[in-house]
Amino acid sequence: MEKQKLLYEGKAKKVYTTQDPKLLIVAYKDDATAFNGQKKGTIQGKGAINNRMTNLLMSRLEREGIPTHLVEELSARETLVKKVSIVPLEVIVRNIAAGSFSKRYGVEEGLVFNAPTLEFSYKNDALGDPLLNDDHAVALGLASREELALIRKYALVVNEVLGRIWADCGVTLVDFKVEFGRLGDGTIVLADEISPDTCRLWDAKTKEKLDKDRFRRDLGGVEEAYVRVMERLTNGL
Ligand code: TMP
Ligand code: ASP
């Protein structure tokens, strides 16, 4: 399958059409942004790592019964995926307090929850991705109640499966963001990416951050963290 025309360019990926109207090619970039695009930079080698990691994790999730948009990896940075229309919700699951949760509710990073929390943000850069509840999502016509229930169910299974995979690699899955899309017939599938850009991953022993927080917070060692966490995954699988 070959790239035809650029359909969309996001902050971290480009999406191309193909000869098949039901399939798209995603190309991962090394560009990194944070704080709704206010901070910009490059993480050398990130595109290839995020492509590989997303595909490894989505294949595992497929085997555990989660439908995804993945078709096949085409090259180091490119993957063939099913065309979806993205449900404009950022679905965030947290196991440990960090980031915006800690800030919003005034709790220290590292507080371990008894059970995972799930929240939705409205995927809308102009509004700064505001937090919203099910009623708001339905009122705005972003998804139906049935779709929201399915998305919640899938997101919690994703958390269980990914939590286990990372634990086996000596890494703690603190939190993550996923996105879902609708196929032509309305079927909900997991889409977008699962990578150190979209997950908080801490070394289980030292609690060292092995994800994009190193870039967001200017902690240094950004490229090294992506390489190391990818090595952990491939050695652990
Ligand atoms: P938060 O604590 O900043 O709300 O982030 C929660 C999780 O979502 C974290 O793993 C990083 C991820 N995330 C994204 O993937 N994209 C985003 O735009 C933001 C703000 C967070
Ligand atoms: N990618 C997001 C942005 O640039 C934010 C983040 O991941 O922190 O807005």
If one residue of 9, 11, 174 were mutated to test the ligand 2 pocket, choosing by the most ligand atoms within 8 A of its CB, it would be 11
- Among 100, 177, 200, name the best residue to mutate to test ligand 1's pocket (greatest count of ligand atoms within 8 A of Cβ): 177
pLDDT band at 236 (very low <50, low <70, confident <90, very high): confident
Pocket residue to mutate for ligand 2, from 29, 35, 193, most atoms within 8 A of Cβ: 35
- The Å distance, Cα 65 to ligand 2 centre, comes to 29
Question: Terminus-to-terminus CA distance in the chain, angstroms?
Answer: 29
Q: HEC states along the chain?
A: CCCCCEEEECCCEEEEECCCCCEEEEEECCEEEECCCCEEEECCCHHHHHHHHHHHHHHHHHHCCCCECEEEECCCCEEEEECCEECCEEEEEEEECCHHHHHHHCCCCCCEEEEEEEEEEECCHHHCCCEECHHHHHHCCCCCHHHHHHHHHHHHHHHHHHHHHHHHCCEEEEEEEEEEEECCCCCEEEECCCCCCCEEEEECCCCCECCCHHHHCCCCCHHHHHHHHHHHHHHHC
Residue 79 has pLDDT above 80, yes or no: yes
Of the candidates 190, 186, 226, the one whose C-alpha atom is nearest the C-alpha of residue 81 is: 190
Query: Is a pLDDT exceeding 80 seen at residue 31?
Result: yes
Q: Would you say 27 and 78 are in contact if contact means Cβ atoms under 8 Å apart? A: yes
Tokens of 10: 């996001």
pLDDT mean across residues, the chain: 98
pLDDT of residue 227: 98
Question: CA-based angle 88:229:209, to the nearest 5?
Answer: 80
- Judged against a pLDDT cut of 90, whether residue 43 lies above it is answered with yes
Residue closest via CA to ligand 2's atom 8 equals 34
For range 190-197, the mean pLDDT:
98
pTM: 0.97
Partners of 120 in beta bridges: 91, 132
Q: Is residue 124 in contact with ligand 2, taking CB distance under 6 Å?
A: no
pLDDT band at 126 (very low <50, low <70, confident <90, very high): very high
User: Does residue 29 line the site of ligand 2, with CB under 6 A?
Assistant: no
Instruction: Measure 206 CA to ligand 2 centroid, in angstroms.
Output: 25
Please report the pLDDT score of residue 237 as a whole number.
60
Cβ 34 under 6 angstroms from ligand 2:
yes
Q: What mean pLDDT is predicted for residues 71-82?
A: 98
User: For ligand 2, is residue 31 a contact (CB within 6 Å)?
Assistant: no
Share of the chain above pLDDT 90, in %: 99
Ligand 1 contact via 226 beta carbon (within 6 Å) = no
Q: Is the CB of 116 under 6 A from ligand 1?
A: no
Q: Band of the pLDDT at 1, cuts 50, 70, 90?
A: confident
pLDDT score, position 85: 98
Any residues with CB less than 8 A from the CB of 151 and at least 6 apart, and which? 87, 89, 91, 143, 180, 188
Average pLDDT over residues 153-163: 98
Name which residue sits closest to atom 7 of ligand 2, judged by CA: 34
At residue 118, the pLDDT reads 98
